[in-house]
């Protein structure tokens, strides 16, 4: 009876804490956020337009939708994301924009909680299970998640896609993993560099099925868009160029710093940014090739390297895109606890990461420049590389007596 009650409490207590934090954070977001004039309005409007039989890539219909639903902010003439993404936004369109925003906030936080829970289960110890609540609480103050909730971004969808792909790869369901991984192309600048590095790793492992899966997924997304609008690729390219023109030199990647070094000079900044991006992708690809054997790096560890290198190399990036760093962050925290037999270093890392990411966010808010967020990438990638390069052999039969 006592054992049964203990198991129930072990499940119930975390759920109560998680539910409470999700409720409070959702309430705060709803009360303090103008969801009608934000990125979220684009996703909601795209979903609503498809339900109404309209095309988010039709300029007249898209702008008319803004007027119909009282969306005053109109920085784009059409839906500024790949057209297939609009299909995933259809569930939001069934609700009013107010209730859709509340739902998406809850879904985002729930995906983060589930991601932390699933990843922590890789360690079969009570010490790591206890990290669920403090890790989730820390992520609420993590700059990229804060910004994601503040503007209603869809980074949680990318997190879910990556987590699913990692789990499928771990189970050797590589074709499905490749298809799932291709969904990152719904945000092409980030998805492209992720897929490039993943493809290098798959090639080194001779995992042709995963590469085939990525190709199937990519072609499927293109075809879905073509069915909706035969000219969608050309229209998306035009919309992307307009976005890039008004945001050059403010991103937390090598392209942004190349733009700064070259003082905005077009040939110089493009050449320098491209060169730096290729160098980083090359170094990242070389490291992944060297670690292709399962004994040298797990699937999770490979993606812990892929994500930050892909993001610092991509041409377009905002702090909220760094939400996917939750995947390497959980690994860093879990590994620190495993190796140090203490929570101290893990918590110090989380505190440092939260403080810096919030500082970077404050700089973005005051200067409209997101370059400080590069530090978040450096912290995460530095910790991942440091822990990977300095492995400590542990006796798996030995208990880990943790102290705070």
Question: What tens digit of pLDDT does each residue of 234-266 get?
Answer: 999 998 888 887 777 788 899 988 988 888 777
Confidence of residue 398 (pLDDT cuts 50, 70, 90): very low
Q: Is the pLDDT of residue 295 over 80?
A: no
- According to the model, what pLDDT value does residue 267 have? 85
- According to the model, what pLDDT value does residue 392 have? 47
Mean pLDDT, to the nearest integer, of 278-300?
Answer: 90
- According to the model, what pLDDT value does residue 293 have? 78
Dist. CA 296–CA 392, nearest whole Å: 13
| 142-151, 289-298, 389-398: range with highest mean pLDDT | 142-151
Q: What is the pLDDT of residues 5-16, one digit of tens each?
A: 767 776 788 888
- More confident position, 390 or 403: 390
Helix (H) or strand (E) run with residue 254 in it: helix 254-261
Of the candidates 97, 91, 5, 84, which has an alpha carbon nearest to the alpha carbon of residue 42?
Answer: 97
Q: Is the pLDDT of residue 381 over 90?
A: yes
Percent of the chain with pLDDT over 90: 70
| DSSP states of 166-219 | HHHHHTT-HHHHHHHHGGGGGSHHHHHHHHHHHHHHHHHTT-HHHHHHHHHHHH
Mean pLDDT, to the nearest integer, of 152-175?
Answer: 95
pTM, entire model = 0.92
394 secondary structure, DSSP code: -
How many H helices and E strands in the chain? Answer: 20, 0
Please report the sign of the dihedral spanned by the C-alpha atoms of residue 192, residue 193, residue 197, residue 203.
Answer: positive
Q: Is the pLDDT of residue 397 over 70?
A: no
- More confident position, 210 or 243: 210
Mean pLDDT, to the nearest integer, of 134-162?
Answer: 94
Confidence of residue 283 (pLDDT cuts 50, 70, 90): very high
Of the candidates 159, 22, 157, 19, which has an alpha carbon nearest to the alpha carbon of residue 91?
Answer: 157
Q: Is the pLDDT of residue 402 over 60?
A: no
Q: What is the pLDDT of residues 324-378, one digit of tens each?
A: 999 999 999 999 999 999 999 999 999 999 999 999 999 998 988 899 999 999 9
- According to the model, what pLDDT value does residue 1 have? 63
């Amino acid at each position: 009876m006592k054992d049964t009650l203990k198991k129930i409490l072990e499940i119930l207590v975390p759920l109560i804490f998680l539910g409470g934090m999700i409720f409070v954070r959702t309430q705060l977001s709803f009360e303090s956020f103008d969801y009608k004039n934000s990125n979220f309005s684009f996703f909601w409007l795209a979903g609503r337009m498809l339900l109404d039989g309209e095309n988010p890539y039709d300029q007249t219909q898209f702008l008319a939708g803004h007027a119909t639903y009282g969306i005053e902010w109109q920085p784009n003439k059409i839906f500024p994301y790949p057209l297939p993404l609009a299909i995933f936004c259809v569930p939001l369109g069934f609700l009013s924009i107010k209730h859709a925003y509340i739902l998406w906030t809850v879904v985002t936080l729930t995906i983060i909680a589930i991601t932390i829970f699933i990843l922590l289960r890789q360690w079969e110890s009570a010490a790591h299970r206890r990290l669920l609540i403090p890790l989730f609480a820390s992520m609420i103050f993590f700059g990229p998640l804060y910004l994601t909730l503040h503007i209603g971004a869809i980074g949680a969808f990318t997190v879910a896609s990556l987590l699913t792909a990692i789990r499928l790869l771990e189970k050797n369901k590589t074709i499905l993993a490749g298809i799932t991984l291709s969904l990152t192309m719904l945000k092409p600048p980030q998805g492209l560099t992720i897929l490039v590095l993943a493809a290098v790793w798959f090639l080194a492992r001779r995992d042709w099925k995963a590469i085939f899966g990525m190709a199937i997924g990519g072609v499927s997304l293109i075809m879905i868009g073509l069915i909706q609008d035969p000219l969608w690729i050309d229209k998306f390219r035009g919309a992307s160029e307009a976005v890039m023109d008004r945001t050059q030199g403010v991103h937390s990647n090598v392209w942004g710093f190349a733009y700064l070094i070259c003082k905005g000079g077009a040939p110089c900044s493009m050449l320098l940014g491209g060169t730096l991006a290729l160098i980083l992708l090359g170094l990242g690809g070389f490291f992944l090739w060297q670690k292709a054997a399962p004994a040298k790096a797990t699937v999770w560890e490979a993606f812990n390297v892929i994500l930050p290198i892909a993001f610092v190399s991509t041409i377009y990036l905002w702090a909220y895109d760094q939400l996917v760093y939750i995947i390497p962050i959980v690994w860093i925290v879990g590994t620190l606890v495993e190796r140090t037999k203490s929570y101290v270093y893990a918590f110090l890392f989380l505190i440092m990461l939260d403080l810096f990411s919030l500082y970077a966010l404050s700089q973005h808010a005051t200067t409209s420049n997101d370059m400080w967020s590069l530090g978040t990438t450096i912290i995460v990638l530095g910790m991942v590389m440091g822990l990977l390069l300095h492995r400590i052999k542990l006796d798996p039969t030995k208990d880990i007596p943790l102290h705070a």
